[in-house]
Structure 1
């Protein structure tokens, strides 16, 4: 298998304020007894850090606030080995996610975009040897523009779910979604390739709307937090496919990485190199 290409992650950077509780509140309900965590997150940052820890050379494009949270985010992402030269400091608060996680690892999340809303296409350049991984926590205009200019492999983790323009569906080489997002975006039936995750039921790959591979979920002894699992899966699947792994093996590897992620309380869990999670 060939070595993974350089990866550019264009995406969001947030501060995650996480309350660990026995159970999630219902509408209008207050739940006490929580424990508070403060971590760096955002789907873009999570995926960039995961890809770097899995062994890729990663460059991130995004924005943080000119505040203490922004400085902390940059240092955390840089320490994970990600090139943050193209992450701008802007005149807006660093994005923030308010998260509640229950004893079973299930979660509720509210995202306040902040500086992420100021990411624009000016100055975003994708080199001919770079693959691109994006999410939908940035402006759709930015995602469309980056996809249109990229010459290499383009992956979009289409979350949160929203209507997808036809030009994006046509250009993207791989979409990654969970089963709820797949149901909410019928446009994906027209995509070239779509990976769909089914939680404890595993994952499947669709090519031109036809299922070509399906794998079970990897076993997890103790689920601590599911917040970063999808991001770890997205990074791992992208790198596995870039390495030349066939769809079934790529899915198995990504599921193994996702399983490792849920065993850690952070959305940016420690990970080993990609090859330790599957035979690539």
Structure 2
């Protein structure tokens, strides 16, 4: 599967603490860990490790973080010809993880904020985006660049998979029935205007989002699994796999990247959704972002053990 990922590239600085600091409180920890990350980069790595032929379109600074980000993408088999160097620091994510594996994240945009529509045109002008391929996007880059990339993908006959995170309104008429929306329950709540607090409400939200034009809507529900709704296949319910949770960082990105690599847009997506859930379960059982994303072989072994 040919996949173009247009999105963010960060250096993640991770601190593991006994509890999240309250307002005005200082919490000590022994050290911080540095991992390459960013929603776009994480999803690109997950897709590449599950057999996708992936190119990354994004921006880094001309600093040591930018060089490390590029090197790690290449190690994972992601093409970096579309990664541009900007006159700004590379993006940084400050991540605090508590003893239960839950995280809080502050993203410093840096060079990600300078990725412009012309960059996407340059990166996709070589024929890498073609009918039958997929373009995977998130919202950690400028809004106008996201919308431009979606329109470009549609014009080239490329299927759009849009992770609407961080959440922003979906413009009327932007999406077509070839396109896919992926959100978690908090993002779904913000888009539909009511709290998505159980599976029934998640289904209602997915159906409401489906009415906005896409052909498939996926709502991830953390340890409650995920569900998907499409006009063609109706409701698909994917249970979560029970594993010890160490760190939830990049779990959602892993799910989305694996789904993009495993579903070619033809036939039911249910098998791809189950593989995505398995890969996300493996991800949360380790610390870090990209280093915790499994390979296809690891995911299939895990699924075989749970059959």
Q: State whether TM-score is above 0.5.
A: yes
1:226 aligned partner: 248
What CA distance in whole angstroms lies between the structure 1 residues aligned with 2:283 and 2:67? 25
Partner of 1:87: 83
1:127 aligns with 2:129: yes
Q: Contact conserved, 1:21 with 1:35, CA < 8 A, in 2?
A: no
Alignment check: 8 A CA contact 2:115 2:145 kept: yes
With over 3 angstroms needed to count, the CA separation of the structure-2 counterparts of 1:167 and 1:278, relative to structure 1, is: farther
Match of 1:164 among 170, 175, 178: 170
- 2:262 paired with 1:236: no
Contact 2:279 2:293 (C-alpha < 8 Å) held by counterparts? no
List aligned pairs for 1:1-280, cutoff 5 A. Answer: 5-122=1-118, 123-125=122-124, 127-129=129-131, 130-150=133-153, 151-170=157-176, 173-186=179-192, 188-189=209-210, 190-192=212-214, 193-207=216-230, 212-220=235-243, 222-242=244-264, 244=266, 246-268=268-290, 269-273=292-296, 276=300
**Gap runs ≥5 in structure 1:** none
CA distance in 1, matches of 2:96, 2:72: 22
Give the TM-score of the pair, scaled to structure 1: 0.91
- What is the Cα deviation at residue 188 of structure 1? 2.6
CA displacement, residues 142-179 of structure 1 (integer Å, 9 cap, x when unaligned): 11111111111110111011112123344761111101
Which residue does the alignment assign to 2:201? none
**What's the Cα RMSD here?**
2.1
Distance in 2 (alpha carbons) for counterparts of 1:247 and 1:54:
15
Q: Gaps spanning 5+ residues in structure 2: where? A: 193-207
Deviates more, 1:244-253 or 1:60-69: 244-253
